[in-house]
Amino acid sequence: MRCKTCGEPAAINMRQHKLALCGEHFTEWLVSRTERIIEKYAMFGRDERILLAVSGGKDSLALWDVLLRLGYEVEALYIDLGIGDEGYSTQSKAMVERFAARVGATDYRVVDVKAAYGKSVPELAQERRGRKVCSLCGLVKRHIMNRTAYEGGFSAVATGHNLDDEAAVLFQNALRWQTGYLARQAPVLPSTHPRLARKVKPFFRLYERETAAYALLRNIDYIYDECPYSKGATTIFYKELLNQLEARSRGAKQQFYLSFLRAREQQGLFHRQREELELSECERCGQPTTASGLCAFCRLWEVG
C-alpha cells in the first residue's frame, strides 16, 4: 500500500477515510485535521489559554505535541493519583516529565493528590468502601481540573479522548439508557458557571489507532501499562466489540458516534434531560455543586 500523497510505502491505512499515508504525511495530516476540528467545533482560539490534562498515555501526550506544533497557548496539568507503589502513577508521571523536558515545557503543573489532600485515591477508596476506585478517581480528577482551570484563569480544559473512547462510553450509556449522560456526552461542553471552564476533546474524531500511530511516529514515550484498576474494565470490552463491528463495516465506530450527535442535535433527543441544573457554590472550596453545603469532592474528605 502506498502513501496517497507521495507514493512511498504507507505507514497507516485509515479504512474509514479510504486513505493510506506514509509516516511523514500522516503526522502532517493528523495535525491539520486536529486544527480543523478545533476550529469547526469552536473549541478554542489562539488568544485563549488552554489547560491540557495529561496522564502520560498516548492520547494526552500526542495532543500536547499537536497543540504545541499548532502554536496554541497550552499548559499541561498532571494529577498524581498515587496509584501503585512506585508503579503506575510514578511511571506515568515520568513519561510526562520526559515529554515536557523534550519539548522544553517548563511550566506544566502537577497536583499530587496525597500531598494536597492527605490521601491518595486508592487510600481514599479503601476508606470509602462501597465506592468504586474509578468513580472516585473521576470525581477527584474533574474537581482538580476545574479548580486548576479556574484559579489559573484558563478558558478551557482539553483532554485527549479519542473517537474509540467516546464511542465506547456512548455504547455503555445506550445499553443502560442513561439519559442524563446521553444528554451531556459531547466533544465540547460549554461553561455553565463562571468557575467551570469549557471542556473540549480535540481528538474526538480520531481513531485510537491513529493517535497511537502518531505517538509512535513522533517517538513519544508513553505509558503502555494500563491503570491496575482498569483491568477488565467494561470500556475496554466495549471497544473490542466496536472494533469487531468496524472490521465488518468500515467507519462503523465513527458513524455510531457522529450520527448520535447529529440525531440529538437535529431531533432534540434527550432535550428534557438537558435542562440547566441550578448550581450553588461549595461552602468550603467554592466550586459549583448541585448539593447544598459541601460539594461531592469536599464531602469525600470528611472523616467517618
Partner 1 sequence: MTARAAVKKLDLDPEAILVIRNGELVTDDTLLEDADEVKLIAVISGGMGESVPPGGWRRR
Residue 275, exposed/middle/buried by CB under 10 A (0-12, 13-18, 19+)?
exposed
Q: Which three cell numbers mark 231?
A: 483491568
Interacting residue ranges for partner 1, rule: CB under 8 A: 1, 9-13, 20, 23, 55, 57-59, 132, 134-135, 137-138, 141-142, 159-161, 164-165, 168-169, 173, 180-181, 184-185, 189, 192, 196, 199, 208-209, 212-213, 216-217, 224, 226-227, 229-231, 233-236, 239-240, 243-244, 246-247, 277, 279, 288-291
In the complex, what is the shortest distance from the CB of residue 154 to partner 1, in angstroms, rounded to a whole number? 15
Q: What is the rounded distance in angstroms from the CA atom of residue 129 to the CA atom of residue 116?
A: 22
Largest Cα–Cα distance in the chain?
Answer: 66
> In 3-state terms, what secondary structure has residue 18?
coil
Q: What is the rounded distance in angstroms from the CA atom of residue 147 to the CA atom of residue 192?
A: 14
In the complex, what is the shortest distance from the CB of residue 237 to partner 1, in angstroms, rounded to a whole number? 10
Q: What is the rounded distance in angstroms from the CA atom of residue 68 to the CA atom of residue 75?
A: 9
Q: CB-wise, 52 or 212, nearer to partner 1?
A: 212
Q: What is the rounded distance in angstroms from the CA atom of residue 153 to the CA atom of residue 169?
A: 30
Q: What is the rounded distance in angstroms from the CA atom of residue 191 to the CA atom of residue 189?
A: 7
In the complex, what is the shortest distance from the CB of residue 277 to partner 1, in angstroms, rounded to a whole number? 5
Q: CB-wise, 101 or 263, nearer to partner 1?
A: 263
Q: CB-wise, 10 or 300, nearer to partner 1?
A: 10
234 secondary structure, DSSP code: H
In the complex, what is the shortest distance from the CB of residue 106 to partner 1, in angstroms, rounded to a whole number? 26
Q: Which three cell numbers mark 76?
A: 499541561
In the complex, what is the shortest distance from the CB of residue 250 to partner 1, in angstroms, rounded to a whole number? 10
Q: CB-wise, 118 or 293, nearer to partner 1?
A: 293
Q: Which three cell numbers mark 239?
A: 471497544
- 138: closest CA among 214, 48, 230? 230
In the complex, what is the shortest distance from the CB of residue 39 to partner 1, in angstroms, rounded to a whole number? 22
Q: CB-wise, 67 or 196, nearer to partner 1?
A: 196
How many C-alpha atoms does 182 have within 13 Å on its Cβ side?
22
Q: CB-wise, 20 or 104, nearer to partner 1?
A: 20
Q: CB-wise, 42 or 101, nearer to partner 1?
A: 42
- 77: closest CA among 51, 100, 99? 51
In the complex, what is the shortest distance from the CB of residue 129 to partner 1, in angstroms, rounded to a whole number? 18
